Structure 1
């Protein structure tokens, strides 16, 4: 949950599975630690906008295909 009752969810685990990519593979590709990928997948870490775009680029998709932002009451 982010500030002001907003939430950020992601499809990183799904996209990795579709591409047979490990957390370590993705981490190396975007220049972060495996722990950062784990925390982001679990929703425990909110990546910077730059990192969000790097992750989307690693999957060759748009950022909206990876991350979903919802305000409270909209549902995820």
Structure 2
């Protein structure tokens, strides 16, 4: 199965790591973050054949996974 890789750059990457809270780029392979840091460092990790995604100054941060329905139910019952 071929790898699918992306390099996100030119924005602010929120890492959620207190030791290094932001990065300039992030490398993703098969849906998993494999590196954060500078654009050149992340591109070296990916090697050849990745998709470049220009964030154009946007902020990239992790999404919430399995948040349940608690926040939605709170809104629902407060109406």
Shorter-chain TM band: under 0.3
Q: Which has the higher contact order (CA 8 A, sep 6+)?
A: 1
What TM-score do the two structures reach when normalised by structure 2?
Answer: 0.25
Judging by fraction of residues, say which structure has more strand.
Answer: 2
Judging by fraction of residues, say which structure has more helix.
Answer: 1
What TM-score do the two structures reach when normalised by structure 1?
Answer: 0.26
